[in-house]
Amino acid sequence: MNKRTTPLIVGNWKTTPATKEEAVKFIKALEKKCATSKKKLPKKSYYLAVPSVFIAHLAPLAKHGYIGAQNVSGQSLGQTTGGEIPSQLSSAGASFAIIGHSEVRKTGETQEARAIKVALSLQQNLTTIFCVGEKTRDKEGSYLKELEDDIRISFTDIPRNLFSNLIIAYEPVWAIGSKTPATPTECFEVVIALRRAIASLIGIDYAKKVHILYGGAVTKDTATTFLEEGGVDGLLIGRSSQEIVAFFDIITTTH
Ligand code: PGA
């Protein structure tokens, strides 16, 4: 099986690094590596979801990639304390936002709140990476139905013309932060189920085209296998994006 598209390599820095200075140093070093890479890379070869306070500092430096947010507030402009709404993130320099990451879901984010966040983020022209993934697997495969339902409920009210800016990330919760990723076969099975859910919601043409990423314990040793055998168009990477050599290795091995 072949890679379908130019891979989307998305890093998720989570609550790292500790300071703006470290973040700037990382991006400058990564940019240097991209600029002098022996392997020919596309003009933009990485996405990095960073702590939101760093976005305005990093976006102007990221010539070979995109800087984005790890979450958005679903509140409207006004009198709510805490969180950044999509227009604020976008004007700070964010090109994209992750929504529905399991670590955000865990804090009590509701299905309804997620659907609002997706709509607001897309309306603001942020490329929106929506995460889904099962907590556990059962032999009967009911987790597939759970994931399909999640997609249907979250996207039902999204205007069709906004879908082109939506990306889905399959992140099995049991793989995130663990030593063991899903197998490419396990990933492929879910990708088919997700495309099926999208086809019934929006149509088969879009379902074939939508970019789907895999995330959960990806390293440079497993990255290419997911693209070649897992049916995905890119990767969402936590730990291996927080270390410059590991992240750059993934960028070069996958392109
Ligand atoms: P991990 O995290 O690569 O460290 O497992 C992935 C994620 O949380 O997106």
The active-site residue, picked from 64, 84, 101, 103, is 101
Alpha helices in 5-83 (DSSP H): 20-35, 55-58
- 1: confidence class by pLDDT, cuts 50, 70, 90: very low
- For the stretch 78-97, pLDDT in tens is 999 999 999 999 999 999 99
- 4: confidence class by pLDDT, cuts 50, 70, 90: low
Say whether 101 is catalytic: yes
Alpha carbon distance 175, 89 (integer Å): 29
Q: Is the pLDDT of residue 3 over 80?
A: no
Q: What percent of the chain has pLDDT over 70?
A: 98
Bridge pairing between strands 166-170 and 127-132:
parallel
- For the stretch 155-213, pLDDT in tens is 988 988 999 999 999 999 999 999 999 999 999 999 999 999 999 998 999 999 999 99
For residues 122-138, average pLDDT: 97
**CATH numbers and ranges of domains, the chain:** 8-254 (3.20.20.70)
For residues 53-68, average pLDDT: 98
Take atom 3 of ligand 1 and give the residue whose Cα is closest.
238
Q: Is the pLDDT of residue 74 over 50?
A: yes
132 CB less than 6 Å from ligand 1?
A: no
pLDDT at 160: 87
pLDDT at 10: 98
Q: How far is the CA of 239 from the centre of ligand 1 (A)?
A: 6
pLDDT at 156: 86
Take atom 7 of ligand 1 and give the residue whose Cα is closest.
238
pLDDT at 5: 78
Alpha carbon distance 58, 97 (integer Å): 15
Q: How far is the CA of 203 from the centre of ligand 1 (A)?
A: 30
Take atom 6 of ligand 1 and give the residue whose Cα is closest.
238
Q: What average pLDDT is seen over the chain?
A: 95
Nearest atom (ligand 1) to Cα of 169: 9
Helix (H, G, I), strand (E, B) or coil at 110: coil
Count the Cβ atoms, other than its own, within 10 Å of residue 173: 18
For residues 66-85, average pLDDT: 96
Peptide bond into 17 cis (omega under 30): yes
| Alpha carbon distances (Å) from 96 to 14, 29, 106, 219 | 15, 22, 22, 23
213 CB-near residues (< 8 Å, 6+ apart)? 8, 10, 129, 167, 168, 169, 170, 232, 233, 234, 235, 236
Do residues 47 and 66 make contact, with C-beta atoms less than 8 angstroms apart? yes
Whether the predicted model's global pTM rises above the 0.75 cut: yes
Token match 């709140």: residue? 113
